[in-house]
Amino acid sequence: MEDFDGREQAGRPKMVVLAGPNGSGKSTVTRGLMEDPHFPKDRYVNADDIAKRLEQPIEDAETRRRYAAVIEPNMPELPLVGKIWYMGSRMSEEQIATELGRGVSNVDQRNGFAAILADDARKAELRGGHDFAFETVMSTQGKLAMFDEARGKGYDVDMVFVTTESSLINQQRVLNRVAQGGHAVDPDKIAERYNRAMHMLPAALQMVETASVYDNSFHTPVLIAKKERGEIVFPEVTMPTMEDMQKRPELRKEGPLGAWYVSSMWQSDWAEAREGITGLQNRIRENVQGQQHDFDALHDRYAKADKPMARADIQNGSETAGRVVEVTDRHVLQFDRENNRYVAHDRTLLTPGVIANLQEAQVSGKDVTIAYNYGPDSKLVDQNKTLNKTPELTQASLDQYLFDPSSREEPKPRQM
């Protein structure tokens, strides 16, 4: 595994994101990264670590009060799990503090509290202007929104993304972890989060300064993608060496195809293993390049010297008002009237239900406001509520508004 490299611009603070689906091996990779002198291990936020602390009674009353004050307002309106509520109703700060004082024995409740506290700690670190790191499944748009927020505050965002060839591998690893006393995750949620994280990976790669993507289907991570100086590259797959395998005789691959164990016959299995890793790399490459090609095609069709094109800022509270120009399989292109530019919204970062409304707005020539607002669970609030529409325009008026530099005033509505 390569050394951690988060030194793109000296003097700028770093937000290091350790991302990947449940069971992909993020914690194992993190232990290796913590040995690197450039990794901010003293400011590392991990919900699992917080959950372990909550299992024991919190003796200090002020700490209990402070934690409860963070947890109570950030509990979802509908419970993540029933145990976050108390006797069928929302828990009060006093009830939460009492629970913290005796140690949170229920696993679901403990993990729910820990997730809220971890999110609060991440936000506090971001306000501090220091290097820090955090671990995330990265299965919600709100986690990616922190990338834009951090960059807006002058941070470089460095991501290490750890995944596997199949969510079945992740499910099996979580089961193995539970058998050893670790916390459980519902298998359906593992598969759902795996799919969402992989779906959003191309967008994440566009939003960070540096990135390393690893296939951790084996117990030795294999680098399959890297971003440096703004360029995403896909290096030739390098398998673990014989020396690596001799040091790690337990090296194996878990999943639907069974397990390969290092032995004198490893060569026959290695070819198949390489093929699997290369297949994952190719899937990621195709998605990343597809996103970029779509953006570039839109740029070629619409960007003029006086109208630049940018990717949408998705940090919490961001919004763009203007005409929907085109809806493709990968983007929604909007003319940002206030800033006289085009903005490309990545469809993987929009709620699915909003796309039909945006397509309708494109056809009718209506103005819309696309906003990014997130709930306590970091998921997008229904964007259908943010599509504020204005009167329709004729196609001729819309074309003039978009392409005629002299038409900078608000277009007049069509006469009915």
CA angle 323, 202, 283 (to 5 degrees): 130
Q: What number of other Cβ atoms are within 10 A of residue 56's Cβ?
A: 11
What does the pLDDT read at residue 269? 58
Contact criterion met (CB below 8 Å) for 16 and 133: yes
Radius of gyration of the chain (CA): 24
Per-residue pLDDT of the chain in tens (416 residues, 90 and over written 9): 555 554 445 578 999 999 999 999 888 788 888 888 888 989 999 998 999 999 999 999 999 999 999 999 988 754 455 455 544 567 889 999 999 999 998 888 888 899 899 999 999 999 988 999 999 999 999 999 999 999 999 999 999 999 999 998 899 888 887 877 777 788 999 999 999 999 999 999 999 999 999 998 876 788 999 999 889 999 998 776 666 655 554 444 444 333 333 333 344 456 777 888 899 999 999 999 999 999 999 999 998 877 899 999 999 999 999 999 999 999 999 999 899 999 999 999 998 788 988 999 898 888 899 999 988 778 888 776 666 655 454 455 545 555 554 544 443 433 43
- Measured in whole angstroms, the distance separating CA 25 from the mean position of its chain's CA atoms is 16
Report yes or no: 165 and 279 within 8 Å, Cβ to Cβ: yes
Return the pLDDT at 249. 46
Rounded CA-CA distance 300/309 in Å is 10
What's CA 140's distance to the chain center, in Å? Answer: 6
Annotate 228-273 with DSSP letters as a single string. Answer: ETTEEE-PPP-PPPHHHHHH-TT----STT-----STTHHHHHHHH
Two structure tokens written together for 237: 């797959």
b/e 196-220 (16+ beta carbons within 10 angstroms → b):
bbbebbbbbbbbbbbbbbbbbbbeb
- Please say whether the beta carbons of 323 and 401 come within 8 A: yes
- Which residues, listed in sequence order, are joined to residue 90 by a DSSP beta bridge? 85
pLDDT of 300: 93
Residue 379 DSSP symbol: P
pTM value is 0.83
In whole angstroms, what is the distance from residue 205 CA to residue 296 CA? Answer: 16
Nearest to 122 by CA among 97, 144, 99: 144
> Exposed, middle or buried, 4 (CB in 10 Å: 0-12/13-18/19+)?
buried
